[in-house]
Structure 1
Amino acid sequence: MSTSSVPRPEPLAPAAVRPRPAGAGRPGVRRGARQALALFAAIRLAGVVAVLLADHATRHSLGRTLAHSWDSRWYLHIAQHGYGHLIWITPTGAVQSDWAFFPLYPGLVRAVTALLPLTPGQAGVALAWAAAGAAAYGLYLIGHQLYGRAVATALVALWAVLPHAVELTLAYTESLFAALAFWALYCVMNGRWLWAGSLAALAGLSRPSGFAVAAALGVTAVCELVRRRGRMPAAVWAGALLAPLGWLGYVLWVGERTGNLLGGYFMVQSAWTSRFDFGVGAARFLRALFLYGGGVVYPYALVIVAAGLLLLALLCLDGAPMPLLVFAGVLVLLVIGGSGSFSSKPRFLLPAFPLLFPLARALARAWWARPARAVLVGAALTAVSLLYGAYVTVVAHSPL
């Protein structure tokens, strides 16, 4: 069979995704991606050094923060001992269990420690770093497909200097979820629905917010159904149906273990004060913040969340591709409408990369018009990111 007769996946319609810019050949894409990934790695490596220096300055064990911060300890315990062996009783009497944490990341940590001579903490950090690189690559490809090389590079650089980007290099699930989500979205934008659905299912096994990827695929599939007047390829149906299975499977498994199939998982999350309350918890936090203050971390978190809302509005006005708009919109909705510690909300926005498109386009334009000013802005953002990342992970006592 000749290669010309092999069927190729059909990309989404222009209404769902913008066409690839002219001249975006694969050699050029790879060369630009290597440069963007080198920049990403340099920034995040500097962030790791900043955390290590902060560990040293505060007399912590060198590297302790990278592998054993907050939720990391729960994930590593699950990797070593499985589920059902660790609980925490809060001062209010709530029983917090390890069932609140999704299984893909601790499962991968366990697999790595079985294959390589690494401790669970070392394996967790190595996985986070590798996943962050994979996520940055997928991010570059999406940005290049939509806007070209300059915006794609600016997009990767901005993601690297986000205030909470330090958590991409901790033993946390953000980088793994981001890698799976970004590549799932890239696949659906290019008509590879089976790959998109499979990656979305894995994303649903990595974090509670994993269903945002499934929602993006589902809404896009409905738009395609309308556009095609009911005639849809089987691959689209299969991808859309695969997408929510990871998240749904774990939620039902926890429900079965707790004796409440449909509500058990949400009862577990409620013990962690993590539930969707339509913004009631956020409103109470704002009232307390304005009345009593909140140090550095909480006002900073409020600024980041407010910026996320503004950027989502700009993204909507810009007419972003449907899967990216739905993905970012669901993540912002979860942050605004969800309860729990407000200091963690910027971390939940880390994977919402479409919010950065307006800023990336502005930075790319500034680079061509006034490169010195663009470099100065980038250097300032990097410095703030490194200093704040070290502070929030090592010095501050607020939950990550």
Structure 2
Amino acid sequence: MSSALRSPDSPRDAGRGRVEVPPGALRALGVFAVVRLASLVLLVIVDAVAGRPFGKSLVHAWDSVWYLHIAEHGYGTQLRITSTGAVQTDWAFFPLYPGLVRALRGLLPVSTGAAGLLIAWASAALAVHGIYTVGHHLHGRRVATALVALWAVLPQSVVLTLAYTEPLFTACAAWSLYAVLRGRWPAAGALAMLAGLTRPTGIAVAVAVAVAAGHEVVRQRGRASPGLLAGVVLGPLGWAGYVLWVGRQTGDLVRGYLQVQSAWNSRLDLTVGPLRFLASMPLQGSWVTYPVALVLVLAAVVSFCVLCLDRTPLPLVVFAGVLLLLVVAVSGPFSSKPRFLLPAFPLLIPPARALVRVWRTGPSPRARLVCGGLTALSVLYGAYLASLASQPL
């Protein structure tokens, strides 16, 4: 691996904390917007053909129902009893996204669903900017553009069109990692804290910041700046604060959140649950979502191995590795695992670099046709997941 981080261009530049707009960022955002707009239009058409209310698949599917209910009514107001008798509560969902939705709804005369979509779409744009900026910082304009394009056409990227938390989490993670690469530790820690308030896997960002900070302390022969220490301390506060709050609500400060998650069949069992599921997959009744999910998870594992061998900066490797470990080692709906991996954008760096090497002189007409076909398949599969599939997204 290369050095864990790169120094700012100058101390004055580091102190400003301004947001850079690298060349080509708007073009990459345009590519992303075209793909997501196509997905949005297709979802609306599918809902219309199926006789559903306008936008139902966008704001009333799976987890979005829980998040928007929390935004409107607060915590402790919704539960569901499963067929096995497990009691699922809204405490399983982290608070930043519904809090932002509630705040926006108080500022604008819009419905909760519309506010949820506005937050998600704005967060997706920020995430694209962050992903592009990280890619441009490491490998230049062409790789950064390919990185955004690949992220836009992932089969699970349909959730970037819905009222889900993945766009917000990815935005916080990408900009936190970029702050680490530039040596802006307080900003990195603050953004890691926000990531920890967004999703349970937000702890991966805090771990990446802490490991990179430890590497920097060793490199500086034991010297640690106040900003670095502040970043390390801030990083896990959001995640830990919410987990402890849930523990207090349940009466078990240490294991409370784990008990809440167990009602959703989400347990840290070191791959035992996923392997048991794979053994019975032919009996589960889905010959589409489960095989696709399996292929995507295996591809993520392979890409992570390449990432480790490709001299990628340490914080990106740690973030992707911890997120991948949490997805693989925790049981739960297997069809949702690709969605959980969506924020792990560093896993796309190796294929993005390979794509640029292949297209060194520019894409041929045949290559453009292939890319267009893959994009169409991604949009169609996303519509199937969001509006037709019976498995959790």
| Same fold at TM > 0.5 | yes
Distance in 2 of aligned mates of 1:359 and 1:29: 24
The one-letter code of the counterpart of 1:16 is A
The alpha-carbon deviation at position 169 of structure 1 amounts to 1.3
Q: Could you say which residue in structure 2 is the equivalent of 1:217?
A: 209
Asked if structure 2 preserves the Cα contact closer than 8 Å seen for 1:20 and 1:146, the reply is no
* Structure 1 runs not aligned, ≥5 long: 1-12
1:74 aligns with 2:62: no
The alpha-carbon deviation at position 376 of structure 1 amounts to 2.7
Q: Secondary structure at the match of 1:334?
A: helix
Distance in 1 of aligned mates of 2:105 and 2:230: 34
Distance in 2 of aligned mates of 1:374 and 1:295: 29
Q: Secondary structure at the match of 2:88?
A: strand
Q: Deviations over 1:142-182 (max 9, x none)?
A: 00010000000000011000001110110000000001111
Q: RMSD of aligned C-alpha atoms?
A: 1.9
The alpha-carbon deviation at position 370 of structure 1 amounts to 5.1
Q: Secondary structure at the match of 1:339?
A: coil
Q: Could you say which residue in structure 2 is the equivalent of 1:100?
A: 92
The one-letter code of the counterpart of 2:199 is R
1:375 aligns with 2:368: yes
Q: Deviations over 1:67-125 (max 9, x none)?
A: 11111111111111111111111111111110000000111111011110110000001
1:335 aligns with 2:327: yes
Q: Secondary structure at the match of 1:93?
A: coil
The one-letter code of the counterpart of 1:186 is Y
Q: Deviations over 1:175-201 (max 9, x none)?
A: 000011111111111011101100100
- Of the candidates 183, 186, 191, which is equivalent to residue 175 of structure 2? 183
Greater mean alpha carbon deviation, residues 41-50 or residues 132-141: 41-50
Asked if structure 1 preserves the Cα contact closer than 8 Å seen for 2:6 and 2:182, the reply is no
Q: Secondary structure at the match of 1:62?
A: coil
1:279 aligns with 2:271: yes
The one-letter code of the counterpart of 1:15 is S
Q: Could you say which residue in structure 2 is the equivalent of 1:157?
A: 149
Identity fraction in percent: 58
Distance in 1 of aligned mates of 2:7 and 2:184: 16
Q: Could you say which residue in structure 1 is the equivalent of 2:128?
A: 136
Asked if structure 1 preserves the Cα contact closer than 8 Å seen for 2:94 and 2:200, the reply is yes
Q: Could you say which residue in structure 1 is the equivalent of 2:344?
A: 352
Greater mean alpha carbon deviation, residues 272-281 or residues 375-384: 375-384
Q: Secondary structure at the match of 1:88?
A: strand
The one-letter code of the counterpart of 1:212 is A
Q: Secondary structure at the match of 1:363?
A: helix
1:60 aligns with 2:57: no
Q: Secondary structure at the match of 2:3?
A: coil
The alpha-carbon deviation at position 57 of structure 1 amounts to 2.2
The one-letter code of the counterpart of 1:396 is A
Asked if structure 2 preserves the Cα contact closer than 8 Å seen for 1:19 and 1:145, the reply is no
Distance in 1 of aligned mates of 2:124 and 2:379: 17
Q: How does 1:379-398 map to 2 (within 5 A)?
A: 379-398=372-391
Asked if structure 2 preserves the Cα contact closer than 8 Å seen for 1:366 and 1:374, the reply is no
Asked if structure 2 preserves the Cα contact closer than 8 Å seen for 1:29 and 1:144, the reply is no
TM-score by length of 1: 0.93
1:16 aligns with 2:4: yes
The alpha-carbon deviation at position 20 of structure 1 amounts to 9.5
Distance in 1 of aligned mates of 2:309 and 2:49: 46
The alpha-carbon deviation at position 56 of structure 1 amounts to 1.7
Distance in 2 of aligned mates of 1:310 and 1:250: 33
Distance in 2 of aligned mates of 1:180 and 1:29: 17
Q: Secondary structure at the match of 2:213?
A: helix
Q: Secondary structure at the match of 1:80?
A: helix
Distance in 1 of aligned mates of 2:44 and 2:269: 38
The alpha-carbon deviation at position 14 of structure 1 amounts to 5.6
Q: Secondary structure at the match of 2:155?
A: coil
Q: Could you say which residue in structure 1 is the equivalent of 2:286?
A: 294
The one-letter code of the counterpart of 2:377 is V
Distance in 1 of aligned mates of 2:7 and 2:70: 44
Distance in 1 of aligned mates of 2:143 and 2:385: 29
Task: Give the aligned length.
Answer: 384
Distance in 2 of aligned mates of 1:185 and 1:256: 31
Asked if structure 1 preserves the Cα contact closer than 8 Å seen for 2:133 and 2:144, the reply is yes
Distance in 1 of aligned mates of 2:7 and 2:307: 18
Distance in 2 of aligned mates of 1:170 and 1:110: 17
Q: Does the C-alpha gap of structure 1 residues 68 and 292 become closer, same or farther in structure 2, counting only changes over 3 Å?
A: closer
Greater mean alpha carbon deviation, residues 44-53 or residues 136-145: 44-53
Distance in 2 of aligned mates of 1:323 and 1:384: 33
Asked if structure 2 preserves the Cα contact closer than 8 Å seen for 1:83 and 1:98, the reply is yes
Distance in 1 of aligned mates of 2:342 and 2:252: 32
- Of the candidates 223, 243, 250, which is equivalent to residue 235 of structure 2? 243
